[in-house]
Amino acid sequence: MELLRLAALFAVTALAEIVGCYLPWLVLKQGRSALLLLPAALSLATFAWLLTLHPSAAGRTYAAYGGMYIAVALLWLRLVDGVALTRWDLAGAAIALLGMAVIALQPT
């Protein structure tokens, strides 16, 4: 149950970071309205706040978070960018998530 709770928190954290970076990308690369920078800033502030909810020390949280970020970024690639995932993408995400679990669930 702890793994599911941590995974969900990491996933929401990753989504906040990705949205916060994707919106400025739309402004800079696709000429979208600069008003998108406001929800981007809010999303990145939410991302920073969510990082404080993780139970581990900051460095360990960032290390474990990286695994979930990879998986969520690949989901974004598929769902938002419309790019089909390869077996290499899926294998990489599985390895990254395993690494996240090893780091996040280590004995204290």
Mean pLDDT computed over every residue of the chain: 92
Q: How many domains does the chain have?
A: 1
**What's the one-letter identity of residue 60?**
R
Residue 81 has pLDDT above 90, yes or no: yes
CA-based nearest residue to 69, from 29, 9, 25? 9
DSSP 8-state assignment for residue 82: -
CB burial of residue 101 (10 Å; 0-12, 13-18, 19+):
middle
CA gyration radius for the chain? 15
Predicted confidence (pLDDT) per residue in 3-51, tens digit: 788 889 989 999 999 999 999 999 999 999 999 999 999 999 999 999 8
Domain that holds residue 32: 2-104
Give the separation between CA 24 and CA 53, rounded to whole angstroms: 25
Residue 58 has pLDDT above 90, yes or no: no
